[in-house]
Amino acid sequence: MDFGAICREYGGKISFHGTIGTQTTMPFGTPQQVRETMWKHLQIAKPFGGLLPAPTHLLEPEVPWENVLAYAEACRAYRP
């Protein structure tokens, strides 16, 4: 799903949780891609608020630990 389109349509009306793919970005992306995806989604949601950036579901065993750390670091480092 296109988070930007969904956020433009429903942002300010509902809150979002997730947006970081557990079958795409988290298991197969690089740590930098994890950070960039999270920051991109935070920027998209910024005008509307209501985003808790997180993996969309539970993390499967194939997710590299480096990507889990990149997610946590990106959360700490993000500055709007």
pLDDT digits (tens, 9 = 90+) for 15-72: 999 999 999 999 999 999 999 999 999 999 999 988 998 998 899 999 999 999 999 9
d(CA 57, CA 8): 23
pTM of the model: 0.87
Neighbours of 73 (CB within 10 A): 14
d(CA 63, CA 77): 21
Q: Are strands 16-20 and 51-55 parallel, antiparallel or unpaired?
A: parallel
